[in-house]
Each structure stands twice: as structure tokens, then as C-alpha cells.
Amino acid sequence: MFLIVLNYTAFYQMTAPIWDPWQILDFFQSMSIAIVISSNIACEAFFFLSAFISGYQCFMILEAKGKNVFSIKDIAKIYFRKYLRLAPFYYFILGFGWASCSYISDGPVWSIMRGLWYNCNSTWISKVFFVGNIIGFQEPTEGCMYWVWAV
């Protein structure tokens, strides 16, 4: 998980505006950054393993129940557990970023930072109910917490 976050941070730095364009050349010549950029493979492996483990757990639940079909109650339990794992940190990031972003407004990449939260007043409800990719559709690189489209 650490490599995934590091990979997306490096990608953000590569696409963000910079004061010195030659700085990006030094950035790419570093061996540590080459490892970070190639950690995209770690991201794909993480998604593959999590899907495999989730599928395995579903089969274990079915085997323990002695059935071949999930009931509505089983599916609701799976989604509720996933919600309990994701929601606290998700809501913390939404609340903290939305509340504090308007108070910190200085620096060379502030226009990018402001773009991360600029329309939360109108689309916050879709983010609270995890339907931001369906309701309140926006551009893929701007808006209220656009990076959580997959959640």
C-alpha cells in the first residue's frame, strides 16, 4: 500500500506545475524515483491480490454455510464490513480537506490544491454516500475529492 501511495504522489509531482522546468530532469535521473515510478506494478498486484482474497473469502462463506448462493443478508454483511473499514478515514479526509483548504492558500501549486475541493459545496452529498462517480459527475481531474471515484 505504501508503494501505491508513493506512486500516486510521484505522478502528482510530475504533472503539477513547477517553477524550474529543469528540476523535473533531475527528478527522473534519480534511481529511487525510477523505482517509485515502476511501482505501478505494485498497484496492479495489490488490486489483483485484494480481488483474489475477497473472492476466496466469499467462497469460504459459501462453504461454511453449505450453500451455492449468497443471501441478501450475506451480501449486506460484506458491504457493511467494507463500509466500516473505509468510512472513518474517508470522512476524515473529506471533512478535514473541505474545512481547512480555504484557510491555507499560499504557494506555487495552490491553484491545483484549490481545484481539489472547489465544488464541495454542491457535490458533498454524493461523496458522503459513496456515489460520486454516478451522481454529480465532474471532470476527471477536478472537483471535490475527484481521486476517490473508485471507492
In tens, the pLDDT along 107-150 reads: 666 666 666 777 777 778 888 888 877 776 666 656 677 777 66
The answer to whether position 75 is within a domain reads no
Same domain for 56 and 106, yes or no, is no
Same domain for 38 and 93, yes or no, is no
Q: What is the mean pLDDT of residues 102-109?
A: 68
- Grouping H, G, I as helix, E, B as strand and the rest as coil, residue 114 is helix
pTM over 0.85: no
Same domain for 61 and 100, yes or no, is no
Is the per-residue pLDDT at 32 higher than 80? no
Same domain for 93 and 138, yes or no, is yes
Q: Is the dihedral of CA 47, 90, 131, 144 positive or negative?
A: negative
Same domain for 48 and 106, yes or no, is no
Is the per-residue pLDDT at 15 higher than 90? no
> What pLDDT is stored for residue 33 in this prediction?
73
> What pLDDT is stored for residue 61 in this prediction?
84
Comparing CA positions, the residue from 55, 87, 73, 100 lying closest to residue 151 is: 87
The answer to whether position 48 is within a domain reads yes
Would you place residue 53 in the very low, low, confident or very high pLDDT band (cuts 50, 70, 90)?
very high
> What's the total number of domains in the chain?
2
Provide the domain limits for residue 91.
86-151
Give 14 or 45, the one with higher predicted confidence.
Answer: 45
C-alpha–C-alpha distance, residues 63 and 130, integer Å: 31
Same domain for 53 and 93, yes or no, is no
Same domain for 103 and 145, yes or no, is yes
Same domain for 18 and 65, yes or no, is yes
> What pLDDT is stored for residue 34 in this prediction?
73
